[in-house]
């Protein structure tokens, strides 16, 4: 089968959406499918089966978009048409210009169409400082339903949480498949020696874009409140618009935190040598970094935010803190520092729970979804022609 995967945001695997997109592409290829990739990653120009659209120009805001760590495609009709010519199936990753254009063309041509749900409305409104304007978040969901998801033969939701949010917002039931994005097998529990410079430190790791919805400021404030702040080495792996603000906030900490964007191998090592992993996000439709921590059998602390799916991964309330409450997060951090034996028990529980989100099984379910959609579409067309 020839499958066209459409992703407005693609490039180096430094954020969750790009990671899951590349995981899907690699899996489909391994199953023998011919995979076309429609994107705006200019480094892929000239490569076989890559259809590269121009980058969208945001004028004076180009620098801000780049700082977020993404490039966004322009929905070039000729590139979209070329990518879809003769394809058997289209899968859209994001509800942006390129994905919307591909979805409409696929619908018009009768090509089986699926799409992933990888963006919360709050991801957009948070950057504008308008996250709490609920009517705006609802308007965004209605817009992407109208221009993408209503055309789909199936929608892939990484969690039941985000399916419920979307369907409630648009007031409609959708053709849903709830499948985790999964954790790649190279992210796993293994012995990694703590670097010499951290030998006498309690290493707390958090991975994510520096943004209001990821709430790293809460973690920085919590470390400042910890009884063990003199021993805590905080590592904030990522990049983003809030970097300068967070660095200023972190100046009060006795041990300077590390702010840096890391490669995938480095992330895998850090997940295995860190002492605690904290995911303070208040808006999270799944949280791949959180799942990766669990896959490494790491003590994983998450917020109780109603807009985040990660609270569902916690073993129990001992691993959860009140969202945006630095005092409560400091309490949870200190508890787990002070109870190393109980921490080992919980880490074993986390590791056991990770089996359900192994990438191989999740990708098998994605392949099955595509096959089922195609079979239904063929059957419907056959019945229509025979009528």
C-alpha 224/C-alpha 236 separation (Å) is: 15
pLDDT of 58: 65
Poorest-confidence range of 47-61, 147-161, 287-301, 373-387?
A: 373-387
pLDDT of residue 158: 95
The SS3 assignment for 115 reads strand
**What's residue 14's pLDDT?**
72
List the 202-207 sheet strands across, edge first: 258-260, 232-237, 202-207, 276-279, 300-303, 320-321
Other C-beta atoms closer than 10 Å to the C-beta of 129 total 9
Helix (H) or strand (E) holding 51: strand 50-52
Hey, what domains does the chain have and what are their CATH numbers? 2-182+358-386 (3.40.50.2000), 196-356 (3.40.50.2000)
Task: Please tell me the predicted confidence (pLDDT) of residue 306.
Answer: 94
Q: 57-75: per-residue pLDDT in tens? A: 766 655 655 655 556 677 7
Per-residue model confidence (pLDDT) at position 244: 96
Cα 329 from Cα 323, distance rounded (Å): 8
The model's pLDDT over 73-85, given as tens digits with 9 standing for 90+, comes to 777 899 999 999 9
Is the pLDDT at 251 greater than 70? The verdict is yes
Q: Enter the pTM of the model.
A: 0.87
- Determine contact, residues 8/72, Cβ cutoff 8 Å: yes
Region for 46 from its dihedrals, namely left if φ exceeds 0, alpha if ψ lies in -120 to 50, beta otherwise: left
Q: Does 109 score more than 90 pLDDT?
A: yes
**Residue 126: what pLDDT?**
65
User: What is the percent of the chain with per-residue pLDDT over 70, rounded to a whole number?
Assistant: 92
Rg from Cα positions in the chain = 21
Residue 216: CA count within 13 A, CB half-sphere = 28
Give Dmax over CA atoms of the chain in angstroms. 76
**How is the beta sheet containing 154-157 ordered, strand by strand?**
50-52, 34-39, 2-6, 89-92, 113-116, 154-157, 176-178
Taking residues 235-255, report their average pLDDT: 95
More confident site: 333 or 359: 333
- At 382 the pLDDT is 65
pLDDT at position 232: 98
Q: At a CB cut-off of 8 Å and minimum separation 6, what does 297 contact?
A: 189, 347, 348, 350, 351, 354
Q: What is the overall mean pLDDT for the chain?
A: 91
């Amino acid at each position: 089968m020839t499958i066209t995967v459409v992703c407005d945001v693609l490039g180096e695997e430094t954020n969750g959406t790009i990671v899951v997109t590349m995981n899907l592409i690699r899996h489909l290829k391994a199953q023998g499918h011919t995979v076309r990739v429609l994107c705006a990653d200019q480094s892929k120009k000239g490569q076989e089966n890559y259809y590269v659209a121009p980058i969208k120009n945001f004028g004076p805001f180009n620098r801000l978009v780049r700082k977020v760590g993404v490039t966004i495609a322009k929905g070039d009709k000729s590139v979209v048409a070329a990518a879809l010519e003769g394809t058997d199936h289209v899968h859209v990753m994001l509800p942006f210009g390129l994905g919307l254009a591909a979805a409409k063309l696929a619908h018009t041509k009768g090509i089986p169409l699926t799409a992933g749900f990888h963006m919360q409305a709050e991801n957009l409104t948070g950057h504008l400082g308008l996250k709490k304007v609920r009517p705006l978040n609802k308007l965004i969901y209605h817009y992407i339903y109208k221009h993408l998801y209503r055309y789909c033969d199936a929608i892939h939701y990484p969690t039941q949480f985000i399916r419920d949010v979307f369907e409630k917002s648009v007031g409609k039931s959708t053709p849903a498949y709830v499948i985790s994005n999964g954790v790649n097998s190279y992210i796993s529990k293994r012995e990694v020696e703590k670097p010499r410079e951290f030998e006498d430190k309690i290493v707390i790791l958090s991975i994510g874009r520096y943004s209001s919805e990821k709430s790293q400021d809460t973690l920085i404030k919590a470390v400042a409140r910890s009884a063990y702040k003199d021993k805590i080495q905080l590592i904030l792996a990522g990049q983003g618009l809030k970097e300068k603000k967070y660095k200023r906030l972190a100046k009060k900490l006795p041990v300077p935190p590390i702010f840096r964007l890391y490669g995938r191998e480095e992330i895998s090592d850090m997940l295995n040598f860190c002492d605690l992993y904290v995911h303070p996000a208040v808006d999270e439709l799944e949280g791949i970094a959180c799942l990766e921590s669990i896959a490494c059998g790491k003590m994983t602390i998450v917020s109780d935010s109603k807009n985040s799916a990660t609270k569902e991964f916690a073993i129990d309330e001992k691993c959860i803190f009140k969202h945006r409450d630095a005092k409560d997060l400091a309490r949870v951090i200190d508890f787990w520092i002070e109870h190393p034996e109980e921490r080992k028990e919980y880490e074993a529980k986390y590791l056991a729970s990770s089996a359900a989100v192994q990438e191989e099984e999740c990708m098998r379910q994605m392949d099955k979804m595509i096959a089922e959609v195609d079979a239904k579409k063929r059957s419907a067309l056959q019945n229509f022609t025979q009528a």
